[in-house]
Amino acid sequence: MSIQENLKEKTLVQLLKEAVSHCQSQGIFTGTGTPKIVLEVPKHDGQGDFATTLALSLAKIEKKPPREIASHLVSALTDQVSWIEKIEIAGPGYINFFLTNAYWLQTLLNIHDQQTHFGKSTPKNKERVLIEFVSANPTGPLHIASGRAAALGDALARLLETVGHKVDCEYYLNDIGTQMTLLGRSTYLRYRELFGETVTLLEGSYQGEYIIEIAETIKKQKGDQYLDRDEASSLPFFTKFSFDTIVFWIKKDLHDFGIDFDRWFSESELHEKNEVDLALDFLKTKTMSYQKNGASWVNTTQFGDDKDRVVVRSNGQKTYFASDIAYHKNKFDRGYDRLINIFGADHHGYINRMKAAVQALGYNPKNMTILIHQLVNLLRDGKPVKMSKRAGTFVTLREVLEEVGVDATRFFFLMRRSDTSLDFDLELAKKATNENPVFYVQYAHARLCSIVRVAKEKAWDVDHVIQNPNLQSLAALTLPEELAIIRLLSQYPELIKSSAEAMEPHRITFYLQSLAGLLHSYYFSCRVITEDVALTKARLVLVTAIRIVLQNGLHILGLTAPEEM
RNA sequence: GCGUCUGUAGCUCAAUCGGAUAGAGCAACGGCCUUCUAAGCCGUAGGUUGCAGGUUCAAUUCCUGCCAGGCGCACCA
């Protein structure tokens, strides 16, 4: 890690720790040991670069006023460190640290030194992570709600990789079962209809236009050869053809959305390899399952589920849950340290039963994280659009991508915490193209590129300037705006770590907006390219550093960083 | 009824492990292009953080109860 981070993380904390023990050895403090020392970046100007609430938390133990504790601590901090400008006690007992400009300028050197690696880190425990997401049933094109899961899962994967984990992305395909049969029959009926037959659509059958589209393709390719055959012998073909077509669409939609899964895992594969039976047998030998009323149940209640769950129905059919158990066993057996599942809120009832199942299988449920994202409320002109795949009334991800654009759609989904529901107003999203915050961020990047272009046109050797920065020349950066930008830049690595820890990519969108805001403001008030050679060089280093951080952040979100707009 | 998520400015949302004066964008109003991209900048206005208690030096944050909304509670997938 950077020298600077070590300074902040270790030395400042260390100094405080030493101060505490010093006070204790002098008998000023009666307690023993040190509480956890937290450094935070104050929200307001004039409160220092870092602050600690150490004195506040010590107050209770020592039974002394926090400010008094603080002043003891500060006088114990006699060890003079060159990069501390001054220390103040403020408010109820905060200790505020003001650091020298030179300390901050070091950040710019780090950024230029690390480039795309700035913000990356190495975890204490590197994990092999499998993120399963989207996994929508392949019975129709992806709709917009899947877009949220897709954007979230992909950003999370990039984020976890940035902090040093090995991440694979997987899509679980439900390619067998009653839904598949229903899909095949829906297409089959539409096929007959194309030859002039009057058909009665099945109860609950898929009725979207796309079914007719698939039927037409079959008609084109196969003519009337299925017309005289009975349904039973035709169905396997219609089911497979429909499935293949839809999976092709889904892959294409996701690819165009910037997401390519490492693996598409078929449910049927589990059955072919007998893994479902093996998993159920395994539970039986572990006495985690039992027979009741002719069905086979897993005792999930002992691990916190509301009720026990059926895995084999009394008619002999295995439930979906049985496949899920086998699937998760399969995942763990492939050697992953951590499983992450991203579910829509309509599946939140599965959390306890899946965790219980994992535990019944003998794995630690803590190694499986189920992330719930609340649903997307689709609106059109403020009025809710009811979506049903079967009725064929839904808005596809593709439609939104074509109308709103990939970057804006991704950003829109990632801007909100995943556990709040999200209103997606189609008219607003289209109309708001120019107002979407993603453009604000991307525009900042484009502006920075423009500065570099102009500088080069004016014969500045920008590359040379950037490649050879040193603290001395950067000392020309003295404006409060410039230092504010640098402080924000220096927070980037910590932001990435905490976002990854919390699995909350939305924090990055807010960070990027703040950074873009500072840049736009700075751009308006200060010119980078001036007659002042030293100043221009220093500012070129600054703006290119901003550009690197914007690029790195946008990359994690899966967005482009355009050079021109 | 039980479980779960949410409730913060007119709207959509932030708020670092419980910290100082709760912040942005949009919408509204008033300014700024002869100078590196005006998809921008500056300013004004906007709040009893759903309600009521509790915990403590400190609560948007934690706890309890209530109110409102979303979602889920199958031998469906």
Residue A55 (CA) to nucleotide B60 (C1'), in angstroms, measures 24
DSSP string, A363-403: S-GGGEEEEEEPPEEEEETTEEPP-BTTTTB--BHHHHHHH
Higher-confidence residue: A37 or A383? A37
Domain end position, chosen among A70, A99, A128: A99
- A395-454 confidence digits (pLDDT tens): 789 988 888 889 988 998 998 888 888 888 777 766 655 567 888 999 999 999 999 999
Q: Report helix, strand or coil for A338.
A: strand
Name the residue with tokens 């050869």. Answer: A225
Domain end position, chosen among A69, A99, A129: A99
Strand B positions within 7 A of protein Cβ atoms: 3-7, 12-17, 19-21, 23-27, 35-42, 56-58, 69-77
CATH number for the domain harbouring residue A477: 1.10.730.10
**Can you tell me the distance from the alpha carbon of A361 to that of A286, in angstroms, rounded to the nearest whole number?**
8
**Can you tell me the distance from the alpha carbon of A298 to that of A280, in angstroms, rounded to the nearest whole number?**
9
Phi, psi at A289, each rounded to 5°: -130, 160
- A523-540 confidence digits (pLDDT tens): 999 999 999 999 999 999
Q: What is the mean pLDDT of chain A?
A: 89
Residue A54 Cβ under 7 A from any strand B atom: no
Residue A83 lies in a domain: yes
Residue A67 (CA) to nucleotide B70 (C1'), in angstroms, measures 46
Nucleotide at minimal C1' distance from the A308 CA: B75
Residue A164 Cβ under 7 A from any strand B atom: no
Residue A297 (CA) to nucleotide B15 (C1'), in angstroms, measures 46
Residue A33 lies in a domain: yes
Q: How crowded is residue A313: how many other Cβ atoms within 10 Å of its Cβ?
A: 14
Say how many domains are in chain A: 2
Instruction: State residue A521's pLDDT score.
Output: 93
Q: Which among A525, A545, A523, A540 has a CA at the least distance from the CA of A476?
A: A540
Q: Among chain A residues 198 through 217, which have CB within 7 angstroms of nucleic chain B?
A: none
- A83-124 confidence digits (pLDDT tens): 888 899 988 889 999 988 888 999 999 999 999 999 999 998
Residue A481 Cβ under 7 A from any strand B atom: no
Query: Is pLDDT above 90 for A279?
Result: yes
Residue A469 lies in a domain: yes
Task: Find out whether A447 and A541 touch, Cβ atoms under 8 Å.
Answer: no
In whole angstroms, what separates CA A550 from the centre of its chain?
A: 17
Assign residue A459 a region (left: φ > 0; alpha: ψ between -120 and 50; beta: otherwise).
left
**Can you tell me the distance from the alpha carbon of A302 to that of A309, in angstroms, rounded to the nearest whole number?**
12
**Can you tell me the distance from the alpha carbon of A154 to that of A173, in angstroms, rounded to the nearest whole number?**
18
Instruction: State residue A433's pLDDT score.
Output: 57
- Go through A248-271 and write b for each residue having 16 or more CB atoms within 10 A of its CB, e for each that does not: ebbbebbeebbbebeeebbbeebb
- A206-224 confidence digits (pLDDT tens): 888 899 999 999 999 999 9
Q: Which domain holds residue A89?
A: 3-99
Residue A523 lies in a domain: yes
User: Tokens standing for A106?
Assistant: 């070091």
Q: Among chain A residues 31 through 50, which have CB within 7 angstroms of nucleic chain B?
A: 36, 38, 40-44, 46-48
Calculate ∠ Cα A370-A372-A374, nearest 5°. 175
Domain end position, chosen among A68, A99, A130: A99
Residue A319 lies in a domain: no
Kind of pairing between the strands at A295-298 and A309-312: antiparallel
In this structure, of A11-15, A50-54, A235-239, A384-388, the range with the lowest mean pLDDT score is A384-388
Query: Is pLDDT above 70 for A388?
Result: no
Q: Among chain A residues 483 through 512, which have CB within 7 angstroms of nucleic chain B?
A: 498, 502, 504, 506-507, 510
Residue A174 Cβ under 7 A from any strand B atom: yes
User: Tokens standing for A445?
Assistant: 């990047």
Residue A90 Cβ under 7 A from any strand B atom: yes
Residue A310 Cβ under 7 A from any strand B atom: yes
CATH number for the domain harbouring residue A38: 3.30.1360.70
- Go through A523-553 and write b for each residue having 16 or more CB atoms within 10 A of its CB, e for each that does not: beeeebbeeeeebbbbbbbbbbbbbbbbbbb
Residue A217 lies in a domain: no
Residue A421 (CA) to nucleotide B27 (C1'), in angstroms, measures 22
Query: Is pLDDT above 90 for A555?
Result: yes
Query: Is pLDDT above 80 for A4?
Result: no
Query: Is pLDDT above 70 for A508?
Result: yes
Query: Is pLDDT above 70 for A515?
Result: yes
Query: Is pLDDT above 80 for A312?
Result: yes
Residue A479 Cβ under 7 A from any strand B atom: no
Residue A439 (CA) to nucleotide B33 (C1'), in angstroms, measures 20
Residue A520 Cβ under 7 A from any strand B atom: yes
3-state secondary structure A132-151: ECCCCCCCCCCEHHHHHHHH
Residue A390 Cβ under 7 A from any strand B atom: no
Residue A532 Cβ under 7 A from any strand B atom: no
Instruction: State residue A281's pLDDT score.
Output: 95
Residue A545 (CA) to nucleotide B13 (C1'), in angstroms, measures 29
Residue A518 lies in a domain: yes
Average pLDDT of span A226-244: 94
| Type of residue found at A170 | E
Average pLDDT of span A322-348: 94
In this structure, of A23-27, A351-355, A389-393, A542-546, the range with the lowest mean pLDDT score is A389-393
Instruction: State residue A2's pLDDT score.
Output: 40
Task: Find out whether A474 and A534 touch, Cβ atoms under 8 Å.
Answer: no
Residue A136 lies in a domain: no
Instruction: State residue A1's pLDDT score.
Output: 35
Which H/E stretch holds residue A24? helix A13-25
